[in-house]
Structure 1
Amino acid sequence: MKKVWVIDDDQAIRWVLDKALQKADVQARCFERVDDLLLALQTERPNVLLTDIRMPDMSGLELLQRVKQQYPDLNVIVMTAFTDLDSTVSAFQGGAFDYLVKPFDINEALALIARAVEQGGQHPADVDANAPIVESDSVDKMMSKSSSRSMQDIFRAIGRLAPSKVTVLITGESGTGKELIARALHKHGVRAHKPFVALNAAAIPKDLLEAELFGHERGAFTGASHLRRGRFEEANGGTLFLDEIGDMPLDLQTRLLRVLAEGSFYRIGGTQPVNVDVRIIAATHQPLETRVAQGSFREDLFHRLNVIRLRVPPLRERKEDIPPLVKHFLRLAAASLGVSAKRLSPQAMRVLQDFDFPGNVRQLENFCHWLTVMSPANVIEQSDLPPELLNGLVFDSSTGHASGYAVQAEPFSEACMPSPEVAAHPLVDKANTMTASLPEQAAANWQQLLEKEVQAQLAQDASDIMDKLTAEFEKIALSTTLAYCHGHRTEAATRLGIGRNTITRKLKALGLDDD
C-alpha cells in the first residue's frame, strides 16, 4: 500500500487529508511538528510528503530543503494559502514536485498526490536545487497580487522554467504584463546576476533595428564613427527579451534564426564572428500562426521560438485579481505623489470588476493613477470614477447604484443562449420571458413566479417542497454562474459568496459535475 505523509499545524487540514487518503486506499500518516516528522523519516520513508509552507517551528521551504538533501528521491508537495510568486518559485527551485493552493479541491489534491506517487522521485522539470533564490522585488510584488487560477499556472511555469535556458514565447493581449513574466523568468533563474536586455521590435524603425540587435563596426556606414555592440552582446550570459517579435521584418528574421541556430553573428560591417550565450524570451500580441500563414513570419523561426509557450490571460478572464491589483496600484500612485493611499468603496469596486478592461492591467494601473490625482476624498465613490468607467453603466433607480454595464444589441446567436442545463429548466424559461418583456420589474417577477410555484405544489399536496425548490434554485444559480465564469469554479465561488469546495460538492449532489 502506498504511503503519504502530511505535516501541517492546522488540525482541520490534517483531518481532511487523512480521511480522503484513507478513502482512496492510501496509507496516511499526519504530523503536527517538524521534529516528529524528521524522527520518523529516520526509520521509515513515505512515497509522497505534503508539507505546509508556514509552520511555527520550521517553514515548509526549509523543511523541503532539508528533506531533499537527505532523501532526494522523495517527492514533496508544498501546500500554501499564500500564493505569491516568490514562494512558488522558491518551492520549485528547492525541488518540490508541485504545490497546492489552499483552499484546495480534495479531488484535485488526490489526483496530484497520485501523480506524485506514480512518478516516484522523478520531477516534472529538471530543477537545479542549488539555483539562487532571488528576493522578491517590485516586479514580483505586482505579479503576486494575482491569485486567479490562470495566474497560478503562470507562476508554476515560471518556477519550472526559470532555472533552464529554454526559449520561451509569451503571448497575450497588450497590457497583460508579458514583460513582467519575462523579467520574472530571468530574475528567478541561474542567469539572474547577468544582464536582462529588452528590445521592442515594433518601436524601432526597420533601418535601425539590425544595428540595435547586432551592433556595427566603425566605418560600417555613414555616421558609424565608432564600434557599437548590439543588444545580443549586451545580453551575453543573460537574457534577451524580444517584445512584439511578430513585427520583426523578414530579412531580420533570417538573421535571428541563424543566431539562434549557431550562437554567433557578425556585426554590420564586421568580418569576425561574435559568439554569444543568450537566453531568448520572445513576446507578441499577434497570432504568429496567422502571420506564418500570411507569409509575414518565417515558419522555421516560429518553431525555434515556440519551444515553450506561455499565454498571459487578459484581465477580463481573471477579475478576482482586480481588487488586490487596485490596492497595489493605489499604494504605488500615492507613494509616487507623496500622499496617503486611497481606497475604493464597495460600489466603486463592483464597477471596476464589471468593466472588461480592453487595455488590461496597464489600463487598470492608469485608472488608479487618475483616481489618486483626481478623486477629492480618501474613499473613492462610484461617482468619482473616470468617465470611461461610468459611460454605459445601467443604474438601479431603487438603490441609486450601478447594476452593471448595458449589453449592446447584437444579432441573435447561439452565444447569447444560456447553458443547456439552465435553458431547459421551466422556471428559467418563464423568468427569461418575463424579464425580456419587463426588464424593470425583473426582481419582482421571479419572486411572483416562486410564490405561484409554491402554491401549485401545495395544491398538489406535494411534500418536501423546501428541499425540491432549494435544489432547483441551487442548480440554476450554480450552472448560470459557472456559464458566466466560463467554467472557472474559483471565480464562480467568489461571485456566489461560497467556498470552491462547496461548489464541487453541490455540483455532484445536483448531478451537474462532468468531471
Structure 2
Amino acid sequence: MSTTADAPAETQADIAFSPHLAGASILVVDDEPGMRNFLVRMLASRCRHVAEAADVAAASKLLEATPFDLIILDNIMAGRTGLEWLEELRGSGFYRDVILITAFADLETAIKALRAGAADFVLKPFRSNQILNAIARCLDRGRLMRENFVLRRELKAIPGAAAPLMAGESLATRTVRAVIERVGPMPTTVLVTGESGTGKEVTARALHAVSPRAAKPFVPVNCAAIAPEIIESELFGHLKGAFTGAASSREGLFFYAQGGTLFLDEVGELPPAMQSKLLRVIEDKKVRPVGAEREIPVDVRLVAATNANLTAEVAAGRFRQDLYYRLNVVNLHLSPLRERPADVAPLARLFMAELSAQLGVAPLDLTDPVLAALARYPWPGNVRELRNVIERSLILGDFPRDVVPEDAEEEEDAPAGAGPEALGTVEKAHMLKVLAEAGGNRAEAARRLDVSRKTLDRKLKAWNG
C-alpha cells in the first residue's frame, strides 16, 4: 500500500473546494501513519475539526463521543477491513457518508463498497484534488438532501409560519425581542409558552437566526401531529427491518437538524415513554435509532414550545418533572394579542403588505378608525387569526363586520372633511376614552394608544389648561 499521496504541493486555488468544508468534522481511519498524517495535514486548515484513528476500535470510540460529518476509511487494515466495519456501522444506525480508500482496484471490491453504503471510492495513490473533490461531493450531496427535506417540511407548514410575527412595540414584545437577542447566541435549551397562534414557532426561528447555528438547518416538529407509535422513529430514525413496514433505513429529524436547531412544538403532547427517551437525549447528547444497537452523538440545539400549562401537567403526573426542568432552562412566554393591542397596527400593516403582494390584489386602507377597531377586537386566535382576517379581507375586498364594524369606516369619513378643530376634538375624545378604559393609568393608556408617555402627558396638560 502506498504510504503517501502521489501529488506535488498544490495551492488552494488549484483544488476543488466545497464551501461547506470549513464547517465539517471529519474522521480519518488508516493504519498507515504516513497516510493519516498527509490527510490530517491537508484537511486541518480547511475544515472545522479533523480526528484520526489507526484502527476501527479507536475509530469506534471516537464515534461514540463526536458527531462526524464524514469518515475517510482505508479498506485493508490489520485486524478488520474497512468494508467489514462499514457494514457494521450501517447496521448500527450510522448514516453519515463514508469515503473508502484502497490500493487494490477491482470491480468486486467497488461493488461491495457501494452495497455496504460507501458514498465514494478513491484509489491509492491519489492526488490532493481527487480526495478533496470526493469530500466536496459528499458534503454537498448531504447538504442538499437535508435542505430538500427541510424545504418539503416548510411547504407543508401553516401558511405564514415564517412571517416575522415579532413585529410590534408593546412592552411584552420588546421584552421578548431583548431575551432573544441575549439567549439566541447561547446553546441553552429554551421553552416557549403561550396560547395557540401567539407566534411560538416564529420565536424559535428568531432564536435560531441570531445563533451561531443560523447557517445550519432549522427543523420544526409538531409533536401533536405525529402518531405515538411512530414518533420515536420520526425523531431518531430507524434501521431496515426494525419494525413492520421499515423497508429501508432512515435518518430521523435529529440527524436532519445536525448542527442546527430542532424545534419541538406542542412538546406537552409527547407520550410518557417518549418523554423518558427525550430526557436521555438531552442529557447524553446521543440518539439511538429504532432497531440500532449503538447510540449516535448529535449536536442539536433544542427549542420546545407548548400552549399547555406544563406545571399543572407535571402535578397531574402527565409530564415528567425532570424533563420539564431540562426544557425550562430559559422560559419565553408570549402574551396573547388581546393583552398587547399596541402590536395590532404594525402586525396588520405587515400582513397587509405581505399578503396583498402574494395575492396580487391592491391593499385595503388601514385607516386610524379601522386600526382602532382591530385593536379593540379580542383576537381569540391571536396573531394567526389577525393574519387570517387580513387575508380574508383582501380576498373579499372588505373587512369582516364582526371585527371592523361599519361605523369604524364611517368614523373615518366624518373627520376626513373636518377642520383642525374637529380633528382635535376627535383625538381628545379618543385619548380620554382610552385613558378611562385604562383606569386612569397613563402608562397603560399610552401603551394602548401606541404613543409615548411624554406625548400623552403633554396632550392632557394642554386640555386641562
**For residue 221 of structure 2, what is the aligned residue in structure 1?**
199
Q: CA RMSD in A?
A: 3.1
Contact 2:166 2:173 in 1 (8 A): no
Distance 1:338 1:497, change over 3 A: closer
Distance 1:174 1:270, change over 3 A: same
Which of 317-326 and 139-148 deviates more? 139-148
Is 1:482 the counterpart of 2:438 in the alignment? yes
**Corresponding residue to 1:321 among 319, 343, 354:** 343
Residue 140 of structure 1: how far off its partner (Å): 8.7
**For residue 499 of structure 1, what is the aligned residue in structure 2?**
452
**For residue 176 of structure 2, what is the aligned residue in structure 1?**
154
Provide the C-alpha distance between the structure 1 equivalents of 2:456 and 2:353, rounded to a whole number of angstroms: 34
Contact 2:264 2:304 in 1 (8 A): yes
Distance 1:481 1:167, change over 3 A: same
- What's the TM-score once normalised by structure 2's chain length? 0.56
Provide the C-alpha distance between the structure 2 equivalents of 1:250 and 1:401, rounded to a whole number of angstroms: 55
**For residue 151 of structure 2, what is the aligned residue in structure 1?**
none
- What's the TM-score once normalised by structure 1's chain length? 0.51
Within 5 Å, give how 1:160-171 maps onto structure 2: 160-171=182-193
Provide the C-alpha distance between the structure 2 equivalents of 1:184 and 1:395, rounded to a whole number of angstroms: 39
Contact 1:194 1:237 in 2 (8 A): yes
Provide the C-alpha distance between the structure 1 equivalents of 2:221 and 2:199, rounded to a whole number of angstroms: 15
**For residue 279 of structure 1, what is the aligned residue in structure 2?**
301
1:64-105 per-position Cα deviation (integer Å, ceiling 9, x unaligned)? xxxxxxxxxxxxxxxxxxxxxxxxxxxxxxxxxxxxxxxxxx
Is 1:385 the counterpart of 2:399 in the alignment? yes
Secondary structure of 1:343's partner? Answer: coil
**Corresponding residue to 1:208 among 211, 230, 233:** 230
Residue 385 of structure 1: how far off its partner (Å): 2.2
Provide the C-alpha distance between the structure 1 equivalents of 2:358 and 2:260, rounded to a whole number of angstroms: 31
Q: Which letter does structure 1 place at the counterpart of 2:380?
A: P
**Corresponding residue to 1:226 among 248, 251, 259:** 248
**For residue 360 of structure 1, what is the aligned residue in structure 2?**
382
Provide the C-alpha distance between the structure 2 equivalents of 1:295 and 1:256, rounded to a whole number of angstroms: 17
Distance 1:180 1:233, change over 3 A: same
Which of 302-311 and 233-242 deviates more? 233-242
**For residue 330 of structure 2, what is the aligned residue in structure 1?**
308
Within 5 Å, give how 1:240-255 maps onto structure 2: 240-255=262-277
1:143-177 per-position Cα deviation (integer Å, ceiling 9, x unaligned)? 45311111111111111011110000000110010
Distance 1:235 1:343, change over 3 A: same
Within 5 Å, give how 1:73-222 maps onto structure 2: 142-143=164-165, 145-222=167-244
Provide the C-alpha distance between the structure 2 equivalents of 1:340 and 1:259, rounded to a whole number of angstroms: 50
Provide the C-alpha distance between the structure 1 equivalents of 2:300 and 2:389, rounded to a whole number of angstroms: 37
Note the residue ranges of structure 1 that are not aligned, 5 or more in a row.
1-137, 376-383, 403-472, 508-515
Contact 1:140 1:184 in 2 (8 A): no
Residue 241 of structure 1: how far off its partner (Å): 0.3
Provide the C-alpha distance between the structure 2 equivalents of 1:504 and 1:306, rounded to a whole number of angstroms: 41
**For residue 4 of structure 1, what is the aligned residue in structure 2?**
none
Distance 1:330 1:496, change over 3 A: closer
Within 5 Å, give how 1:285-300 maps onto structure 2: 285-300=307-322
Residue 482 of structure 1: how far off its partner (Å): 3.5
Is 1:267 the counterpart of 2:289 in the alignment? yes
Provide the C-alpha distance between the structure 2 equivalents of 1:504 and 1:401, rounded to a whole number of angstroms: 26
Is 1:256 the counterpart of 2:270 in the alignment? no
Provide the C-alpha distance between the structure 2 equivalents of 1:258 and 1:143, rounded to a whole number of angstroms: 33
Provide the C-alpha distance between the structure 1 equivalents of 2:439 and 2:261, rounded to a whole number of angstroms: 41
Q: Which letter does structure 2 place at the counterpart of 1:171?
A: T
Distance 1:498 1:154, change over 3 A: closer
**For residue 41 of structure 1, what is the aligned residue in structure 2?**
none
**For residue 6 of structure 1, what is the aligned residue in structure 2?**
none
Provide the C-alpha distance between the structure 1 equivalents of 2:359 and 2:449, rounded to a whole number of angstroms: 37
Residue 495 of structure 1: how far off its partner (Å): 4.9
Q: Which letter does structure 2 place at the counterpart of 1:386?
A: P
Contact 1:478 1:503 in 2 (8 A): no
Contact 2:435 2:442 in 1 (8 A): no
Provide the C-alpha distance between the structure 1 equivalents of 2:459 and 2:410, rounded to a whole number of angstroms: 35
Distance 1:495 1:318, change over 3 A: closer
Residue 322 of structure 1: how far off its partner (Å): 1.0
Contact 1:259 1:265 in 2 (8 A): yes
Provide the C-alpha distance between the structure 2 equivalents of 1:400 and 1:178, rounded to a whole number of angstroms: 36
Secondary structure of 1:257's partner? Answer: helix
Which structure carries more relative contact order (alpha carbon 8 Å, separation 6+)? 2
Provide the C-alpha distance between the structure 1 equivalents of 2:226 and 2:354, rounded to a whole number of angstroms: 30
Residue 337 of structure 1: how far off its partner (Å): 1.6
Q: Which letter does structure 2 place at the counterpart of 1:253?
A: Q
Contact 1:240 1:280 in 2 (8 A): yes
Contact 2:261 2:301 in 1 (8 A): yes
Q: Which letter does structure 1 place at the counterpart of 2:354?
A: L
Secondary structure of 1:310's partner? Answer: strand
Kindly tell me the number of residue pairs found equivalent between the two proteins: 285
Note the residue ranges of structure 2 that are not aligned, 5 or more in a row.
1-159, 413-428, 461-465
Contact 1:139 1:184 in 2 (8 A): no
Contact 1:154 1:310 in 2 (8 A): yes
Q: Which letter does structure 1 place at the counterpart of 2:311?
A: E
Residue 352 of structure 1: how far off its partner (Å): 1.1
**For residue 53 of structure 1, what is the aligned residue in structure 2?**
none
1:441-495 per-position Cα deviation (integer Å, ceiling 9, x unaligned)? xxxxxxxxxxxxxxxxxxxxxxxxxxxxxxxx9xx979744338xx682x51255
Residue 198 of structure 1: how far off its partner (Å): 0.8
Secondary structure of 2:250's partner? Answer: coil
- Flag the structure with larger Rg: 2
Within 5 Å, give how 1:42-57 maps onto structure 2: none
Distance 1:139 1:292, change over 3 A: closer
Q: Which letter does structure 1 place at the counterpart of 2:172?
A: S
Contact 1:177 1:361 in 2 (8 A): yes
Distance 1:499 1:151, change over 3 A: closer
Residue 349 of structure 1: how far off its partner (Å): 2.2
